[in-house]
Amino acid sequence: MSEHTTSTASGNPDRPYDDEDISSRAFWSTTAEEREKTFARLRERGTVTWHPPMEDSLLDDPEDFGFWAVTTYDDLVEVTKRNDDFLSGPGILMESAPAEFVEAAQSIIAMDPPRHSKMRKLVSAAFTPKQMRRINDRIEANARKVVDNLVAQAEAGGGTAEFVGECAELLPMHNINDMMGVPEGDRQEANREMKVLVGWHDPELVGDTQEEVLGRMFQAIVSTHQLCIRLANERREEPQDDLITALVQAEVDGEKLSDEDIAAFFCLLTIAGTDTTRQSTSHGLRALTDHPDQREWLLGDLEGRVATAVEEIVRWATPIMTFRRTAARDLEFRGAEITAGDKVVMFYSSANRDGSRIDRPHDLDLSRHPNPHVSFGGGGIHHCLGNQLARFQLRALFTELLTRVPHVTAGEPELMPGNFFHVVKRMPAHL
């Protein structure tokens, strides 16, 4: 199977569907708590379940007959690690997407070996714990800057500020772009386009019709690629100590990366590196508001407890809710007969509430240790490359925020419907 085809050719169109609805826009417009009721029933099946194609998909695909839902913790981990049987190359979204979108915006998370192995080795050096420690001072400085901004906005707004736009999205935006070497002005533009690339279910961002959605998303990809290629050309002339320079100078089997490879990774890092931290921060503040006893525990020894608390916040938020694989061959899995080309979708939000592996999964417990959540993946070759970066950022921001304004609370969040990122669009913060 080609690494970047999006056709699923998914088996038998007469295969009966499970009676639980996880394919409709209505289902993905509810809260995580409401969706969990359905996932709990699916986990009780003890197997994978077959469901209709996603409603209002990005691309009309007559070969798409549905998807297998992987909802238990153990099954998700096994699918993750069996990358020979369950491929990433055809795309990682539940929905069918244009091949150009997969190629241009998903980079290494939509690659299979050997191409994935080569690309990941090249970029992984930027995300080692040693490198994260090297930039930790910069992360902490950016945390101070965004909390300064939040406090200033709240003072101007009578004690209330919009938390997502004035704090949660700004920290990862600055940190990712500092690493990449994107200057002020350009980074704000890249951040706007990033929100378009993850907001295909949001008419406010992309319009209402399929034509409008695809057109706006392609426009965002083109704009982001043009920015990255311009910066790559500048680094070839004047190298700097940043990730774009490292990518420009890198070689795979004696060959330089193409501009398209560099730009695709830039898209991936801008999206994944920014949005996951943004969502965890927003859901985390809301969780501290809803669970004041947990806030008080954390404030009892903020420096000593924040690392453990961040793991639970990331589990609680589960910022990326799904990833898809595609069956490489006909195979049997948990008693189900899966056909080559079938979509197989892993539901991280379900696995993180699986009581067989997570004790008291519906309780927020900032002291939870160990915390075997799968928010950064279930292991295997696609385990989140930026997991240490995300942890560093969340520790820095919650430390700064709860030191400066320990009693900050979150109002009701406005959520964006969707099946990929667990998006908080807007949320007031009361200081």
Q: What is the pLDDT of residues 313-367, one digit of tens each?
A: 999 999 999 999 999 999 999 999 999 999 999 999 999 999 999 999 999 999 9
Within 13 Å of residue 376, how many CA atoms lie on the same side as its CB?
Answer: 19
List CB contacts of 323: < 8 A, sequence separation 6 or more. 92, 109, 345, 346, 348, 382
Over residues 76-83, mean pLDDT: 97
Given pLDDT bands bounded at 50, 70 and 90, which one contains residue 147? very high
Q: pLDDT for 238-295, tens place per residue?
A: 999 888 998 888 877 777 888 988 898 888 888 888 888 999 999 999 999 999 999 9
Residue 427 has pLDDT above 70, yes or no: yes
Bridge partners (DSSP) of residue 256 are 251
Q: What percent of the chain has pLDDT over 90?
A: 65
Measured distance CA(326)–CA(345) in Å, rounded:
8
- Which phi and psi (to 5°) does residue 282 adopt? -65, -50
Specify the 3-state DSSP secondary structure of 397: helix
Residue 14 has pLDDT above 70, yes or no: yes
What does pLDDT average to over the chain?
91
Q: What percent of the chain has pLDDT over 70?
A: 97
Residue-level pLDDT at 329: 97
Residue-level pLDDT at 12: 67
Residue 2 has pLDDT above 60, yes or no: no
Give the residue among 238, 276, 259 at the shortest CA–CA distance from 376: 276
> Of 32-36, 203-207, 313-317, 339-343, which range is least confident?
203-207
Residue 1 has pLDDT above 90, yes or no: no
Name the residue with tokens 């008419």: 203
Q: pLDDT for 154-188, tens place per residue?
A: 999 999 999 999 999 999 999 999 989 999 889 98
Over residues 87-97, mean pLDDT: 88
Residue-level pLDDT at 4: 34
Residue 10 has pLDDT above 70, yes or no: no
Q: Would you say 108 and 120 are in contact if contact means Cβ atoms under 8 Å apart? A: yes
Given pLDDT bands bounded at 50, 70 and 90, which one contains residue 203? confident
Residue-level pLDDT at 11: 57
Residue-level pLDDT at 100: 77
Residue 361: C-alpha distances to residues 43, 262, 429 (Å): 13, 39, 27
Within 13 Å of residue 30, how many CA atoms lie on the same side as its CB?
Answer: 13
- Which phi and psi (to 5°) does residue 252 adopt? -120, 115
Measured distance CA(117)–CA(397) in Å, rounded:
33
Over residues 16-27, mean pLDDT: 96
Q: pLDDT for 396-418, tens place per residue?
A: 999 999 999 999 999 999 999 99
Bridge partners (DSSP) of residue 161 are 429
